[in-house]
């Protein structure tokens, strides 16, 4: 049984068809990147997988379970970090993590563990309001990791970060991958991120999958990288000129 099975899901917002019949399967322990430009439907897709939005049609199975029937079970095994998560500015990192740990009935051992994993030890007692963008993203990841999730969803974990902070985050995720206990879906519009972290890449545009595969299967002699492949498939740039947010 695949860890995640997505069968022909669609979602519209009034007249906007955000997701139009997406299907894929993910094996346990795989790291998969949903790659596409802004507005492609990445967030809508992961929000349906996270049980935050109901598809208009189609089915989602995580470890064979569905959000309709098994929400409590699924909440225990998934971790998530939303696009642009905000935390209370006046709580420290440790206080923020203790708060989230209490929601899961977890103790301070879990808090110490995720602080160490995300390299936030030195900043643990600093207020969220004083953190850099990279530190905030690491806190969002720490929250997502609190319950040692078997399935992790990260929506644009490094958007807007400087190259150094982006590398820090990639290294944390590589360590997680090497442990082999986690299945990851991340969304990104950075092809280097997909190339560096993901076993498999699903390219999305206009709410549909336009190509999926391992990096070496996707590239051919005329396309040296995913940016070029995207232009070849759609005639569009993956990166709009001014899409840094």
Ligand X SMILES: Nc1ncnc2c1ncn2[C@@H]1O[C@H](COP(=O)(O)OP(=O)(O)O)[C@@H](O)[C@H]1O
Q: Using CB under 6 A as the criterion, which residues of the chain lie in contact with ligand X when the complex forms?
A: 13, 16, 18, 36, 38-44
Q: Which of ligand X, Mg ion, none lies near 119, with the C-beta cut-off 5 to 8 A by kind? A: none
Q: Minimum distance from CB of 139 to ligand X (Å)? A: 21
Q: Which of 11, 35, 43, 45 binds Mg ion (CB under 5 A)?
A: 43
**Is the CB of 45 or the CB of 92 nearer to Mg ion?**
45
Q: Which of Mg ion, ligand X, none lies near 63, with the C-beta cut-off 5 to 8 A by kind? A: none
Q: Quick check: 202 and 212 in contact, CB under 8 A?
A: yes
**Is the CB of 42 or the CB of 53 nearer to Mg ion?**
42
**158 lies in the site for Mg ion, by CB under 5 A:** no
Cα 60 from Cα 25, distance rounded (Å): 10
Q: Which of Mg ion, ligand X, none lies near 211, with the C-beta cut-off 5 to 8 A by kind? A: none
**Is the CB of 52 or the CB of 117 nearer to ligand X?**
52
Going by DSSP bridges, is the β-strand pair 200-205/31-35 parallel, antiparallel, or unpaired? parallel
Among 37-45, 48-56, 164-172, 220-228, which window interacts with Mg ion (CB under 5 A)? 37-45
Which of 161, 160, 158 minimizes the C-alpha distance to 173? 158
Q: Minimum distance from CB of 178 to ligand X (Å)? A: 28
Which of 169, 165, 188 minimizes the C-alpha distance to 177? 169
**Is the CB of 30 or the CB of 205 nearer to ligand X?**
205
Which of 68, 62, 79, 80 minimizes the C-alpha distance to 4? 62
Q: Going edge to edge, which strands form the sheet with 208-213? A: 78-81, 151-155, 183-188, 31-35, 200-205, 208-213
Q: Minimum distance from CB of 108 to ligand X (Å)? A: 35
Q: Minimum distance from CB of 36 to Mg ion (Å)? A: 9
Instruction: Classify 3 as helix, strand or coil.
Output: coil
**Is the CB of 43 or the CB of 92 nearer to ligand X?**
43
Q: Minimum distance from CB of 155 to ligand X (Å)? A: 7
Q: Which of Mg ion, ligand X, none lies near 36, with the C-beta cut-off 5 to 8 A by kind? A: ligand X
Cα 11 from Cα 110, distance rounded (Å): 36
- The encoded tokens of residue 168 equal 């820090």
Buried b (16+ CB within 10 A) or exposed e, 25-43: ebeeebbbbbbbbeebbbb
Q: Minimum distance from CB of 240 to ligand X (Å)? A: 11
């Amino acid at each position: 049984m695949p860890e995640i099975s997505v069968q022909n899901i669609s979602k519209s917002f009034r007249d906007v068809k955000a997701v139009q019949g997406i299907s894929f399967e993910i094996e346990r322990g795989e790291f998969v990147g949903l790659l596409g430009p802004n507005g492609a439907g990445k967030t809508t897709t992961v929000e349906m997988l996270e049980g935050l939005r109901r598809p208009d049609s189609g089915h989602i199975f995580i470890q064979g379970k569905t959000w309709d029937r098994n929400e409590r079970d699924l909440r225990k095994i998934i971790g998530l970090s939303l696009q642009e998560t905000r935390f209370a500015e006046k709580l420290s990192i440790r206080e923020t993590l203790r708060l989230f740990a209490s929601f899961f009935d977890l103790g301070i051992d879990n808090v110490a563990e995720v602080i160490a994993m995300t390299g936030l030890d030195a900043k643990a007692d600093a207020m969220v309001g004083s953190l850099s963008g990279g530190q905030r993203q690491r806190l969002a990841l720490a929250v997502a990791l609190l319950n040692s999730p078997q399935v992790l969803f990260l929506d644009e974990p490094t958007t807007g970060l400087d190259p150094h902070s982006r590398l820090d985050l990639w290294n944390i995720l590589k360590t997680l991958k090497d442990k082999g206990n986690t299945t990851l879906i991340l969304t990104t519009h950075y092809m280097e991120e997909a190339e560096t972290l993901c076993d498999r890449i699903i390219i999305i545009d206009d709410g549909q999958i336009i190509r999926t595969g391992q990096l070496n299967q996707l590239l051919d002699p005329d396309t040296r990288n995913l940016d070029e492949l995207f232009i070849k498939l759609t005639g569009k740039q993956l990166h709009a000129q001014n899409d840094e947010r």
